[in-house]
Amino acid sequence: MKEQIVYEDNHLLVINKKVGQLVQGDKTGDESLLELIKNFIKKRDEKPGNVFLGLVHRIDRPTSGLVIYAKTSKALSRLTQMVKNREIKKTYWAVVAKEMIPGTQRLIHYLKKNEKNNKAIVFPNATDGAKEAILTYNVIKTLDNYLLLEIDLETGRHHQIRAQLSKIGAPIKGDLKYGAPRSNPDGGINLHARKLEFIHPVTKEKVEITAPVPQNDAVWKACQE
C-alpha cells in the first residue's frame, strides 16, 4: 500500500490505483482500496479507534491511476463540492489502435446508463434521460500499432471516456465491453488517470499530482519512454 500512495497530508491521500482494484466496496464483496487504506493507516499510525476515510471520486475497476481519498470530514465535504463544481482538473491517458482519427478533437455526446449491462449508451444529440458528456483528446505519441491519447475531461459521466472513444471508432485497448477486439492479459484496459490539478481544500495551495503508468504492461512502458 505504501508504494501506491503518491500524495498524503493531514487532510487527503491520493493513491495510484492498480488495474483490478476496487475504489470502494461493491456487490462482488472483494476487498476495496477504501478498506485496505484504512487498515494500513490504522497499523502505520497505531490508531486505537476507527480511521476516517472518505472516497472523493471513482474510477472504473479495469482502469489504473489517481484516486483521491479524504482523511477528514471537512476535506471530504469540500472536495465533494469541488468535484460537483468541476474544480478538479482530471487528465487521462488512453491507448487506442492506430485508427484514422484527427490529431485533436473535442467530443460532445449524450450518455445514458444501461443498468442491465452496466454500459453507457451514446447519443449524438440531446435525448431524454441522457446527460451531456464532453472531453477533448490530443494524440501525444504514435507507436507501431497504437496511439497514445491525452484526454481532458469536462464532465464526469459513467464510462464516459470508454464510450465516447468507442463511438468515434477508437475503443481503448483491452476494452471488450466497448468494442476492443481482444482483452488484455491482466483483464484491465489501457486507460490511466494520469494527472490531477486542484486547489487544496484546506491550505488553498495548488496541488498537481502525476501518476506513473503500470510498469507490468509493455505498451504503457513504451508510451512513457
Q: What SS3 string covers 151-216? A: EEECCCCCCHHHHHHHHCCCCECCCHHHCCCCCCCCCCCCEEEEEEEEECCCCCCEEEEECCCCCC
Closest by CA position to 76, among listed 95, 57, 58, 62? 57
Q: Is 60 annotated in the active site?
A: yes
Pairing of strands 146-153, 131-142: antiparallel
Residue among 9, 26, 45, 60 flagged as catalytic: 60
Q: Match 502505520 to its residue by C-alpha cell.
A: 44
> Which positions ≥6 away from 146 have C-beta within 8 Å?
95, 96, 97, 98, 173, 219
Distance (Å, whole) CA 221 – CA 225: 6
**Could you tell me which residues are beta bridge partners of residue 57?**
none
In Å, how far from its chain's centre is CA 214?
13
Catalytic residue set: 60
